Structure 1
Amino acid sequence: MRFLRWAGILALIASPVAADRLLQSHALVPCSNDGIISINHFDIVFTPENKSAVVSFDGSATYSGKILIDLDLYIYGYKAATRTIDSCDLNIDAFCPLRDTSLKISNVPLDLSSVNLSGIPGIAYQVPDLDAVVRLQIRAADTGKKITCLQASVSNGVTVNQAGVAWAMAVLIGLGLLATVVVSILGHANIATHVAFRTLLFLGFMQSQAMYGMTAVDQRPLVQSWTQIWQWTMGLVGAGFLQTICTWFQRATGGTPSSILATTDEYSVIMQKRSYVPGSLVARATDTTINGGEVEVRGIERVGFRINIEPTNIFMTSYLFFYFVTVVFLLMILFLKFCLPRIANKVKSPKLEGTRVATSDWKDYMRGSLYRLASIGYPQMCVLGLWELTHRDSAAEVVLAICMWLTMTLILGWAMWKVFQRARLSRTLRQNPAYTLYSDPVCLTRWGFLYVNYKAQAFYFMIPLFLYTLVKGLVIAFAQSHALAQAIVLLITEAAFLVTTCVIRPYMNRTANIFAITAAVINFLNAIFFLFFTDVFNTAELVYGVMEVVFALLNAVFMVALLIFFLLVFYYVVTLKEPAEQYTRLSDNRESMRLAEDRRITELQPLEKNLQVEDGHMTSSGNVWEPLSTRSHSDEITDVPRQSYANAVQPTLPLISTSDSESSRSRQYDPPRQEERIL
């Protein structure tokens, strides 16, 4: 029981205590294959304060006679209570004796005052998303022979899946994306890059959690609810008007809407099946099926059911949500771009001086924003768009899914190809691939989001990240009926991405690399947990219970750390203070080009330490340089560095560049012309 007390910590952190203590179950399934009892619908709510329960049952039996019920309660795989109940003590005529006929009772109260239930621990009513199962062994009262076996999953009404948490995170992500645009327009390149990186890292980790929730693995209650919080990042929101639009569109295009949510009073909806009886695992459905009044949903359909989305509306809900976010974001960019300069003219604030630049390049801003939104929405279309090809809700939706996925893939592929093209040209002309990527304002504005978060020499890491997202989407979308294969491929994918990230360490600074690598480690551990949850190792149920709680605690702790890391950047946004300046920027005048021994560290000093010229006119040894006056005017001055420099151009440039920032960057990083060298 020490484990249950330890698990109670999660109850205090993750969710409020329920006002009324209760245990409830909404699905009863057979744990034997004899077919003596079939169930169409089952529902029971137990309140310990008055030791009473209300039960509804709709099914049939093929056995007649008096029966005894051996009740076993398992909590996180631990057998917490065992009781034997005489069916006649329940005061239900249909069970005393059991009859070979149809059984249907509705909201019948049960008096359990004579039943000793003191073995149920008090923590069972407080732990969120309680993982408990009641197993009922039905025996003949006269002979004691086993007749059949039934089991039901039990919950306590307390959950970590709080709508307020999801809304708060959505608002914060929206503010982060908006702050990136505002700070970029103001010309604060370093701040904008840090805001963008932390926002995308936070959002990417939440998307990863949501994608694991969509796997076909039979997930534990706490794992289900934790991953359910982040499903809004995949475009799944339970808005009623969206469901109306999706249902109308499907019917108009020849599809047949599902009606699982409308028939929950008639059928038992099962989101997982498992048994604590060795060798008696229940046959599992591979898709949403209706057999004997039981409906099993798993994977993506389970996620939709918990948000009150019909399985046939899941793709269209995500599709419409993506378009809604795209339109809102683009409208906000237009509003800021055209209104901030006018506000600056009236306010006369020095902090708004960057907004006075010309807005003739607003088309590049909009194109860059569309590329960025395609990158953010690509995970959800990789999963749900490709899944629609197998689900086939209607012909029109399949066409939309194909067009959307292909369009986003081609857009991102084109952007990456253009970046590599510019990098190759820069390598040819400047002996370094990063020069053009960070000095060309058009490239930076349109495609800078792909590489500004990385070190200048690690711009190519966008390719591993793209392939990682694509493979995860393909596996989750096309392996909904193969949980074990899905878990194995995801484990291999996470391991490969973790090794790649650790070896390259591509991000802009040490702190960014630490958080990115930690996120990759957490995702790899999650893949291991999910492989265990497939029951491929036939581990004891108590081990699964411990892993379930560890999974939730581990991800919750890192999510809080990411949240703090994300919120800290808003201090720089509000104060417009540059985070961790590594050098003092050069002034745009001749005097700043003089190479004095006692000068301050400037942007060009890392370049000085690595710059070499083949013909020997300019040499470097620490900070001692050969005077330019000793050179012959006939000598050719080479202005291209022959070796790559370390952090000479800090990869913290505007995500939406301004004219001022573009011109200043060009002045700062373009090598000085010959006439400017001779002072």
Structure 2
Amino acid sequence: MFFSVARLRLLASLLFAPALVASRDDSLFTSSVTYCAPPESLLIEQFDIAYFAKNQSIVFNISAASVDPNTNVVANLFLNVYGIQPINVSIDICSLFGGALCPLPLYTFNGSDSISLPKNLNIQSKIPGITYAIPDLEAYAQLTLTDVKSGDVKACVQTTLSNGWSTHQFAVEWTTAGIAIFALAVAIWQSIVHSDLALAPIRLIDLMALFQTIALSGLLSLNFPSLYRSYTLNFAWTLGLFAASTTSPIQQSINRMRHLTGGDLSNASSNGAIDFVNRKLSPYNSASFVLADALAPSARLSLSNIDLANFPVSNTSVDSTPRILVGGDVATVTQDSSNVLQAGIPIYTNSIGIATVNAFMTVFFLALILATITLGLLAVGYGVCFVLGRTKFARRYPGIGQFRSRYSSFARAWCLRAVIVSSLPVLVFTFYQWTLKDSWLSVLLSVLLLVALATILLPAAFSATRTSFLKGERDGPNTPEWVTPLTAPYRPSRVYYILPLILVMVVKALVTAFARAHGTAQIIIFVLLESFLFLSIIAVKPHPTRGADVLACYLCVTRLVCNGLMIAFAESLAVKPIPRVAIGAIVAVIFSVAVVVMFLNTLINAGLWRLLIFVFTCCHRGRSVGHATLVGHSNDPSCVEKGAVITACEKDSATVATGGSRYFPHRPGNPSPPSTVSCSQSSPPSATSSTTLGETLPRRWSFQHSRPPSVSTNAPYSPAPTHRTSTASSPISGQRHSRNISSSVPTPLDEHFVHDRCIRTTMV
């Protein structure tokens, strides 16, 4: 088989090598305990066992009781590791220990200890080394006791196994949150210092969209491997879901509110989601419960030779052993249980301690907190601007007064950005709440939140796209400045591209919520939507620069490829567990690379790229003085992505800026001399001339314009006299936002090259 255990071991060593260097003993322990059948003869309060490979010892903490007298049972021990069944044996209890366990004694056992296993068992050679290293191990053991006479199940216990490694790490959560906070700080700074059209606020929304895409993938009703499901939990905070416990004040308040308003669904379990996961899904990977079928004489012989009373006690005391034992109430989960968690939102939210029916209310409260923080900070910012505007500091720095004058649009723009970021989680969990029919108050609040979201987002989208359809000008009089979060990322004639983006977001939310029982349909629709977005970017090229289009294509291809790979997680395809784990690791790596790319992009937008250019030009100042001068004037943050610089055409009484744009710069092609311009000698300026063009070039790199020869010029090839009035704007200023600058209008730069060539010809 292609996806063998050896290949899985190699993949795990490559992907998770940094995590495996930590100092931790190789161990296996029970991560959850559940009844797989209603208990009759054996009652378990706690069943925690840990095995340490270093000294081949077992630490246990067990509390169990036998309550059914005169019970003769046969024990079946079953082990499932990634769908493989290395152990499936049945043992005649009556033949062990001289029949001391037949019938089962009415006995209550409470004990914890650490013992060393006999070396003749050779347990270490039977456990592959990858078992201790691969994150989110998918293995469970099942012990079934059946009555010898009737064949009825007297007790059935399932315990999942773990090695302590997982792709869900608090360090990763804080790292991604730190990246988002850093991007937010850069975006706020650039929008204050420069304008709301700076590049950093645009990339902030792109970064949050990537994080939410990763988290949203974990909400689909697919049979994700535990490795990938845990990976997506690192980004749950972007959906407004933070890890909580059953004693959390917010979760307890939501539970009381639901129960008082008609809610009757169960709350979250204190043991997490593993206990209640559908046994067909990871980490169980079992289509049905396995019961005893036959006896295994070899296993019976090997166990009968073990004297449990003479097991040597380990030198390590129980108190010094790491606290990895679970404990807690043991739940009963059968094929007919109503508390089984299905794939998608139920497993996702319960994995972080949030009940399925509490998901929307949790997002609702987080939305209120976000709105309060945003409005509070904006109010404080306005107060600071108002106070500074009345001090001498404002007279020294006029930018403070200018920022105060545009503070209203600045505040509304950031409120709109907050709405854009929170739109996807609000839509997903609002629609999902409608499918639960649990609490009428939750449904009412979901409707009110959806109306508030539509009231803010839809008018902004209408205002942004109206100018695009009518005039194709982003800064036209009919375009409010506060809608720049929707208009700034796109060309003036392509602002309507936000409409398909909003449509795709709404469709994803609808599919995630209402198609929860059809995971295959969900992922296929997601693939079609990402294909549509990719083709639309190729065809429309909505962004103002080629670099922005390339970045958008890269992110879209990342989503498309990952969604395509996740088709293998559909339950109907029944892909084996090991291939699913390998595919899940690949998808996690692809998304992680995209996160790194966006982080580097954030660093560049923060000014790192300009710093590198400055250092480079300083090192080559002697050879490239002109280039260093041009770069030194490049202070527009939107110039970072394209690498454009600002040039100035100096005149006697006016200066013409030809390269800087407060939106996005566009680098023109190589200039070519107009066919209508002929080479002639330049004459001194006439006293009666109405233009100041044509003065002697002071140095080689000055971009100044030469005027046509005057009437009194006696050159044999002088053209007809031409008089032009100098203006303060460049001939291409009307095309500063155009993607392709027309070559029909000669630019001042063209005239300079033609004039310079003419001077060189005359000198020769």
TM-score category of the 2 structures, normalised to the smaller one: 0.7 to 0.9
User: How far, CA to CA, are the matches of 1:276 and 1:574 in structure 2?
Assistant: 49
1:646 aligns with 2:739: yes
Equivalent residue number for residue 258 of structure 2:
250
The one-letter code sitting in structure 2 at the alignment partner of 1:197 is: I
Query: Which residue, out of 463, 466, 469, partners 1:421?
Result: 466
The one-letter code sitting in structure 2 at the alignment partner of 1:546 is: A
SS in 2 for 1:324: helix
User: How far, CA to CA, are the matches of 1:363 and 1:120 in structure 2?
Assistant: 66
User: How far, CA to CA, are the matches of 2:16 and 2:78 in structure 1?
Assistant: 26
Equivalent residue number for residue 117 of structure 1:
123
**Which residues in structure 2 correspond to 1:144-293 (within 5 Å)?**
153-187=160-194, 193-238=198-243, 240-256=248-264, 258-262=266-270, 268-270=275-277, 273-274=280-281, 280-281=287-288, 291=336
The one-letter code sitting in structure 2 at the alignment partner of 1:218 is: N
Residues 1:509 and 1:4: Cα distance change in structure 2 (over 3 Å): same
Could you give the per-residue CA deviations for residues 432-477 of structure 1, whole angstroms, max 9, x where no partner exists? Answer: x0x2x2254x835221111211233322221121111111111111
User: How far, CA to CA, are the matches of 1:92 and 1:157 in structure 2?
Assistant: 35
User: How far, CA to CA, are the matches of 1:324 and 1:97 in structure 2?
Assistant: 62
User: How far, CA to CA, are the matches of 1:228 and 1:475 in structure 2?
Assistant: 20
User: How far, CA to CA, are the matches of 1:304 and 1:229 in structure 2?
Assistant: 12
After TM superposition, the score normalised by the length of structure 2 is 0.66
User: How far, CA to CA, are the matches of 2:513 and 2:583 in structure 1?
Assistant: 26
User: How far, CA to CA, are the matches of 1:271 and 1:352 in structure 2?
Assistant: 64
Residues 1:45 and 1:425: Cα distance change in structure 2 (over 3 Å): same
1:555 aligns with 2:588: no
Please report how far the alpha carbon of residue 273 of structure 1 lies from its aligned counterpart in structure 2 after TM superposition. Answer: 3.0
Residues 1:68 and 1:301: Cα distance change in structure 2 (over 3 Å): closer
Residues 1:402 and 1:93: Cα distance change in structure 2 (over 3 Å): farther
Please report how far the alpha carbon of residue 403 of structure 1 lies from its aligned counterpart in structure 2 after TM superposition. Answer: 1.9
SS in 2 for 1:366: helix
Contact 2:504 2:529 in 1 (8 A): yes
Equivalent residue number for residue 300 of structure 1:
345
1:532 aligns with 2:568: yes
Could you give the per-residue CA deviations for residues 190-222 of structure 1, whole angstroms, max 9, x where no partner exists? Answer: xx6321222111111110111111122222111
Please report how far the alpha carbon of residue 395 of structure 1 lies from its aligned counterpart in structure 2 after TM superposition. Answer: 1.1
User: How far, CA to CA, are the matches of 1:584 and 1:468 in structure 2?
Assistant: 38
Point out which structure has higher relative CO (alpha carbons under 8 A, 6+ apart).
1
The one-letter code sitting in structure 1 at the alignment partner of 2:219 is: M
Q: Mind listing any 5+ residue stretches in structure 1 that lack a counterpart?
A: 427-432, 610-618, 633-637, 650-679
- Bigger shift: 326-335 or 19-28? 19-28
- Bigger shift: 600-609 or 235-244? 600-609
Identity value in percent: 18
Please report how far the alpha carbon of residue 108 of structure 1 lies from its aligned counterpart in structure 2 after TM superposition. Answer: 6.7
Query: Which residue, out of 40, 52, 57, partners 1:51?
Result: 57
* Aligned residue pairs, count: 611
Could you give the per-residue CA deviations for residues 361-396 of structure 1, whole angstroms, max 9, x where no partner exists? Answer: 533333322222211110001111111111234211
Contact 1:44 1:56 in 2 (8 A): no
Could you give the per-residue CA deviations for residues 578-631 of structure 1, whole angstroms, max 9, x where no partner exists? Answer: 42552426689995478xxxx97576998999xxxxxxxxx9879999999669
Root-mean-square deviation over aligned CA pairs: 5.1
SS in 2 for 1:47: strand
- Bigger shift: 292-301 or 394-403? 292-301
Contact 2:530 2:556 in 1 (8 A): yes
User: How far, CA to CA, are the matches of 1:418 and 1:395 in structure 2?
Assistant: 35
User: How far, CA to CA, are the matches of 1:420 and 1:394 in structure 2?
Assistant: 38
Equivalent residue number for residue 511 of structure 1:
547
- Bigger shift: 89-98 or 18-27? 89-98
Please report how far the alpha carbon of residue 89 of structure 1 lies from its aligned counterpart in structure 2 after TM superposition. Answer: 11
User: How far, CA to CA, are the matches of 1:418 and 1:223 in structure 2?
Assistant: 41
SS in 2 for 1:127: coil
Contact 1:40 1:293 in 2 (8 A): no
1:370 aligns with 2:415: yes
SS in 2 for 1:514: helix
Please report how far the alpha carbon of residue 408 of structure 1 lies from its aligned counterpart in structure 2 after TM superposition. Answer: 1.4
Please report how far the alpha carbon of residue 357 of structure 1 lies from its aligned counterpart in structure 2 after TM superposition. Answer: 1.5
Query: Which residue, out of 582, 586, 594, partners 2:644?
Result: 582
Contact 1:5 1:123 in 2 (8 A): no
Could you give the per-residue CA deviations for residues 89-115 of structure 1, whole angstroms, max 9, x where no partner exists? Answer: 99999994586x999976676968254
Contact 1:130 1:155 in 2 (8 A): yes
- Bigger shift: 199-208 or 128-137? 128-137
Contact 1:259 1:310 in 2 (8 A): yes
Equivalent residue number for residue 533 of structure 2:
497
Could you give the per-residue CA deviations for residues 54-93 of structure 1, whole angstroms, max 9, x where no partner exists? Answer: 3567999999645354544524x566x5475857599999
Equivalent residue number for residue 312 of structure 2:
none
Contact 1:272 1:296 in 2 (8 A): no
Please report how far the alpha carbon of residue 521 of structure 1 lies from its aligned counterpart in structure 2 after TM superposition. Answer: 1.9
Query: Which residue, out of 136, 139, 151, partners 1:132?
Result: 139
User: How far, CA to CA, are the matches of 1:639 and 1:496 in structure 2?
Assistant: 35
SS in 2 for 1:45: strand
SS in 2 for 1:484: helix
Contact 2:527 2:563 in 1 (8 A): yes
Q: Mind listing any 5+ residue stretches in structure 2 that lack a counterpart?
A: 1-5, 291-332, 612-634, 679-704, 709-720, 726-730, 743-764
After TM superposition, the score normalised by the length of structure 1 is 0.74
The one-letter code sitting in structure 1 at the alignment partner of 2:352 is: I
User: How far, CA to CA, are the matches of 2:636 and 2:334 in structure 1?
Assistant: 58
Please report how far the alpha carbon of residue 342 of structure 1 lies from its aligned counterpart in structure 2 after TM superposition. Answer: 5.5
User: How far, CA to CA, are the matches of 1:3 and 1:529 in structure 2?
Assistant: 17
The one-letter code sitting in structure 1 at the alignment partner of 2:212 is: Q
User: How far, CA to CA, are the matches of 2:525 and 2:177 in structure 1?
Assistant: 30
Query: Which residue, out of 418, 438, 448, partners 1:403?
Result: 448
Equivalent residue number for residue 357 of structure 2:
312
User: How far, CA to CA, are the matches of 1:59 and 1:182 in structure 2?
Assistant: 68
Please report how far the alpha carbon of residue 4 of structure 1 lies from its aligned counterpart in structure 2 after TM superposition. Answer: 1.0
Please report how far the alpha carbon of residue 50 of structure 1 lies from its aligned counterpart in structure 2 after TM superposition. Answer: 4.2
User: How far, CA to CA, are the matches of 2:256 and 2:609 in structure 1?
Assistant: 44
SS in 1 for 2:276: strand
Query: Which residue, out of 489, 499, 503, partners 1:467?
Result: 503
Of the two, which has the highest radius of gyration?
2
Contact 1:217 1:484 in 2 (8 A): yes
Please report how far the alpha carbon of residue 416 of structure 1 lies from its aligned counterpart in structure 2 after TM superposition. Answer: 1.6
Contact 2:468 2:492 in 1 (8 A): no
The one-letter code sitting in structure 2 at the alignment partner of 1:399 is: L
User: How far, CA to CA, are the matches of 1:64 and 1:203 in structure 2?
Assistant: 60
